[in-house]
A and B are shown apart, each in its own frame.
Chain A
C-alpha cells in the first residue's frame, strides 16, 4: 500500500506543554482512518501539522514531500475543521464559490445536491448558521472537494442523529465511487466504528493504539467470573482493566484472542465477551496506568 501521509517523530509544544510528543503515524492510500482520542489529546494539532497549518518538529511527508507552504501538495488536501473561520460577509453560496476556486477537483453539482440533502439555505450568512448547519457546510466542502487526502476534524458537532447518518451514508457512497484517503477524528466511536478501516488512538500527545480496525475489534476481550479463575486466566497477559468485588472479577485482556481462549474459559467457568472499539478506546485513554498494549 502507498503511504499518503508519513509522520515520524513529530513533536509540537506550546510553552512547556507538549501537545504532540514523538508522534509517528502513516496513512495509507484510499483508506478511511479514524483518529480517536479525548479532548485536548492532540487530534486537531496533528491534523493541522499534516496540512501545514501549524509548524512542528519532526518529519512530515504528504504525497511524498513536505506539506507546509507547498501549494502542489495542499491543492490535493482538504481539511474540514470544526473551528474553520469564515469571512464576515460570506453567505453559504460564497463558501461554495470559494471552494470551487480553490479545489481543482471540486464537483459543483455534487455540492448542490449535498446542500439540498442537508437543508442548507444558500443565501444565509454563514455567521448566522447554527452550529449544526456550520458543520454541515464543512461536510459539503469536504465531500465535494474530492481531495485525494481529506481530513475531517469532528465534522458532526451540533448535527442531529439523522444528519450524522446522512454524513456517514454520503461519505461511504462517495468514497466507493471516488476512493481517497480519509482521516476522521471523532468522539462518536461506536457510530463510526464500522466505517473505519484503520484506527489510531492519541492520548496526551502520544499515539497509544494504531492498528487495523478489524484487528482492534478482536484484540481485547472481557473475561468475568470467580476472582481466582480470572486471575489464573489473565496470568502473564496484558490486563487493561480489572474490576474486583469480593468473589467475582472482571478483566479486560488486551493482547488479542488466543486460539484456546474459549476452551480455557469454559474449563475455568469464565465468561468471555468481545470488547467494542469504544470500550477499548475508553479503557486505553481513561487513565495513565496502562502501557500493556504494545
Chain B
C-alpha cells in the first residue's frame, strides 16, 4: 500500500485506500468462515453418501454420479445472494457499482481457479485409487475424450464462472425488479426454448444436434462453449447493475 495522501477541499489529509476493486474483493472475505463451509461441506456430504452407496451396493459400480454438480449449484446460489444482499450493503457503504461488479468478478475468477485446482487434484486421486477403491466416479466428468491436463483443469474452472455469471445476473434482476423480474426472465426463457424446440422439430435437426454433441470433446463442452455464455451474461449483469439503486 502506498503512503500517498490526498487533500480534500483544503481539509486534513486522508489516507488513500487501496484500489476500489481490490477493496471490494477483500470485502468478499469478511465473514468467510460462514460462507466457505457450504459449497465444500455439501460436496463432502454428497461424496460421503456416494461412497457408502458404492461400498455397499455392488450394482452401482462403474457409474458416474453427477454429485459433483452440487458444488457448482451452491456457487450459483452464493453469487445470487452476493448480488441480492451484498451489493445493496456495499452500495450503502460508499462503494461504486462498477467497483463492486469488478471486485466480485475478480473474486469469482480467483475462486474458480483455486476450486478447479482442488477438484482436479481430487479427480487425479480418484483415478489413481481406482475410484476410491469402490469404482466410484465422483470427481470425473462422466466421459473422457483424451483431453490434456490443462484442458481438463479448465473443465473444472469454467463451470464455476458460468455459475457465478448466472447467479450474478439473477441476483441483480431480483434486486432491481424483484420476483416480477425473475419470473419475466423465466417466462422469456420458456418462450425462447419452446420456439427453438419447434424450429428444430420442424426442420428435423435433432439427429444433427445429437451428432454434434457426441463429436465434442469434454473440454469443448465444459470449458469451451460455456465461455461465450459467461461473457454475454457478465456484460448483461453489468448493464443491470449500472443503474441499480439501493
Contact = CB atoms under 8 A, between A and B. Distances in A.
B15 interface: yes
A79 B26 CA distance: 21
Nearest to A55: B243
Interface stretch (B51-59, B81-89, B164-172, B202-210): B81-89
Contact of A105 (B15, B89, B91, B99): B15
11 contacts: A4-B9, A51-B94, A76-B14, A98-B30, A102-B17, A103-B17, A105-B14, A147-B94, A148-B11, A148-B14, A180-B11
B245 interface: yes
Given A48-B245, A99-B93, 11 more contacts: A55-B245, A63-B8, A71-B96, A74-B94, A75-B20, A76-B8, A84-B89, A90-B30, A97-B31, A105-B15, A148-B14
Contacts of A11: none
Given A55-B243, A101-B30, A79 B97 contact: no
Chain B interface size, under 10 / 10 to 19 / 20 to 34 / 35 or more: 35 or more
Interface in B83-134: 85-86, 88-99
Interface residues of A, number: 48
B85 A79 contact: no
A88 interface: yes
B235 interface: no
A71 B20 contact: yes
A48 B246 CA distance: 9
A55 B88 CA distance: 15
Nearest to A141: B93
Interface in A44-90: 48, 51-55, 63-64, 69-72, 74-79, 81, 83-90
B11 A102 contact: no
Contact of A104 (B10, B16, B35, B98): B16
B17 A104 contact: yes
A78 B91 CA distance: 11
A106 to B, nearest CB: 9
B27 interface: yes
